[in-house]
Amino acid sequence: MKLSSIRWRLAFSYAAIALLAAFSLGFVLRTILRSYYDTQEARYLQERAMRIGLVTAQLIDAQVPAQLLQDQSASWSFFLQARVRIEDDSGNLIADSGIPDNRNAVFFTSAMPFQVPVDSSLAVPAMGTESFEVQIIQGEAASTMGQQGDFVIFSPDSVGVVMPADESMYGLFNYSEGTLARRSSQAVRQPIMDEDGTLLGWLILSDGPAYGDEILNNVMNGWVISSIVAILLAALAGWFFSNRITTPITALTQTTARMAAGDLSARANVASNDEMGRLGHSFNEMASQVEEMVGTLRSFVSDAAHELHTPLTALQTNLELARDEKNASARTRYLVRAQEQGQRLEAMVSNLLDLSRIESTEGRAGFLPVNLSMLLGEIAEHYASRAEQSNRPLALDLPDEPIVVLGNEAQLNQVFINLLENALKFTREHDSIYISAAASEKRVVMEVTDTGIGIPVDDLPNIFKRFHRGRNVSEIAGNGLGLAIVRAVVEQHGGSVTVASEGVGRGSKFTIILPARL
């Protein structure tokens, strides 16, 4: 199967839509989470900077040695797990803790919990400098360090600051190794002011714990996995639905190929109730009409060839006999017969042309009001004299009110002429012909009834087909096109024509129903 087929393209389309949706979702999700954690990281540094800034102001105001500021910044850096820098009011660097060593925090991870009772102290080496103390001054006894209470960080000169332990996502020390392995890009520059509001310097906190990186990476990893799964499922769904769509299309394609190869009986096997099912049903109806049309055309050509062959043969024979005949009387007789065959051919060709014109006309455009009462009266008057001369009584029954329909007057005139010609032709002497018409709000019903030779029951289904003639009229002149013209004209006018006969010798009745003029 080609990748350019609808089946593959639809599957790829589903996958592309899923990919676009997953990418959009991931982009929005990452943007929101990154913004949230950037805010949290900046808040963490800002709150600590405000508290440390007060202590730093006291130390600078007390003019402590630079080494003490360096040691103090190292201690703060250890506890905050952030880089601490102190600048004077001119922007010159006084102290820089550097990025804290991750190994110093291993002692305080949740993998090695320890309990510190109230009022106890713990001396911890801070990056190779002199010792400092951490004391829990709030919280329950035996609370876990870094989880509960406030911490006070004391310098050797007993200058301290309270550091909250539970204002961050991880507490003061509850950092994972992954968190400490990555550093935040956020930085806070806090002015150091004395009590009079004089600028003493700047405190800069940066490279703090990357709260969001680990979570964000986990979320993005989950997003990637779920996106891959979603894209695969979308592609499978696209393949499934495309298969449901293309299967009937493939069936239709195969059916059309069979029809193109000459198998006009091929039909599409599409049983669904959706648009494809309706398409398959319409295709099958079209195929049936094509098969019927082609069959009719073949039959028509065959029948026309046969019908034309007989008079042509007779015409040629009579002409040959007339050419070779020495007797003038006999030669005249042959020429008369040839003329009759020529007239028969002319009538047949004329009827074929009329039938072709009628069937090629589409719609009811150009139809005009036709007074059927007047039309039937004129035709009946003409045929009444002929019927009376041959002892075939003709009666006409019309309503008092005019019957008007929309149609082609010449074609309707031909319909009634053909029916009355047949009635006279196939009605024996002393048999009768009866014409009637009646109208209602929706339709007009006309009947031509005779008590003539009738129609064999087996011939009734085919009586309106081209060139079809009943078995009991083979000796009577005709070409089998009159009733075919009648049906074509009536159907062109949106009506129907039917025939009823109880068999040979029992007469027949033709009923024409046309829509009433609206």
pLDDT, tens digit, 9 for 90 and up, residues 396-448: 888 888 888 888 888 888 889 888 888 888 887 888 889 999 988 889 999 99
Query: CB 158: neighbour CB atoms within 10 A?
Result: 7
For residue 219, give the 3-state DSSP assignment.
helix
Per-residue pLDDT, 191: 93
Q: Picking from 32-36, 68-72, 177-181, 442-446, which range would have the lowest pLDDT averaged per residue?
A: 177-181
Cβ atoms of 415 and 375 within 8 Å: the answer is no
Strand 121-124, strand 394-397: pairing: unpaired
- Please tell me the distance from the alpha carbon of residue 56 to that of residue 77, in angstroms, as a whole number: 13
Residue in this structure with the two tokens 């393949």, named with its chain if needed: 239
Average pLDDT over residues 55-77: 84
Radius of gyration over every alpha carbon of the chain, rounded to an integer in angstroms: 54
Structure tokens at 46: 């800002």
Q: What percent of the chain has pLDDT over 90?
A: 6
**Helical packing angle, 275-324 and 211-260, nearest 10°:** 20
Per-residue pLDDT, 210: 79
Structure tokens at 277: 């099912």
Separation in Å, CA 87 to CA 52, 84, 118: 14, 10, 36
**Helical packing angle, 482-492 and 409-425, nearest 10°:** 150
Q: Picking from 62-66, 352-356, 378-382, 513-517, which range would have the lowest pLDDT averaged per residue?
A: 352-356
* CATH 3.30.565.10 residue ranges for the chain: 368-515
Q: Over the stretch 272-300, which tens digit does the pLDDT of each residue have?
A: 777 777 888 888 888 888 887 787 777 76
Per-residue pLDDT, 306: 66
More confident residue, 506 or 402: 402
Q: Over the stretch 157-186, which tens digit does the pLDDT of each residue have?
A: 434 444 444 444 444 444 455 445 678 888
At the top level of CATH, the class of 291-360 is mainly alpha
The answer to whether residue 85 scores a pLDDT higher than 60 is yes
Per-residue pLDDT, 105: 34
Separation in Å, CA 186 to CA 43, 92, 264, 388: 9, 21, 78, 120
Strand partners, 422: none
Nearest to 436 by CA among 449, 450, 453: 449
Separation in Å, CA 179 to CA 84, 187, 213, 428: 18, 17, 7, 116
Give me the CATH code for the 368-515 domain, please: 3.30.565.10
- Please tell me the distance from the alpha carbon of residue 518 to that of residue 504, in angstroms, as a whole number: 40
- Please tell me the distance from the alpha carbon of residue 339 to that of residue 273, in angstroms, as a whole number: 62
* CATH 1.10.287.130 residue ranges for the chain: 291-360
Burial of 481 (0-12, 13-18, 19+ CB in 10 A): buried
Cβ atoms of 471 and 410 within 8 Å: the answer is no
Nearest to 515 by CA among 436, 429, 416, 405: 405
- Please tell me the distance from the alpha carbon of residue 188 to that of residue 238, in angstroms, as a whole number: 52
Q: Residue type for 404, please?
A: V
Nearest to 398 by CA among 442, 443, 447, 450: 447
Nearest to 176 by CA among 226, 110, 275, 131: 110
Per-residue pLDDT, 510: 92
pTM value is 0.45
For residue 15, give the 3-state DSSP assignment.
helix
Query: For residue 374, what are the contacts with CB-CB under 8 A and spacing of at least 6?
Result: 402
Query: For residue 138, what are the contacts with CB-CB under 8 A and spacing of at least 6?
Result: 149, 150
- Please tell me the distance from the alpha carbon of residue 254 to that of residue 421, in angstroms, as a whole number: 50
Which one-letter DSSP state was computed for residue 334?
H
Q: Residue type for 41, please?
A: E
Residue 149 confidence class, pLDDT cut points 50, 70, 90 = very low
- Please tell me the distance from the alpha carbon of residue 454 to that of residue 331, in angstroms, as a whole number: 39
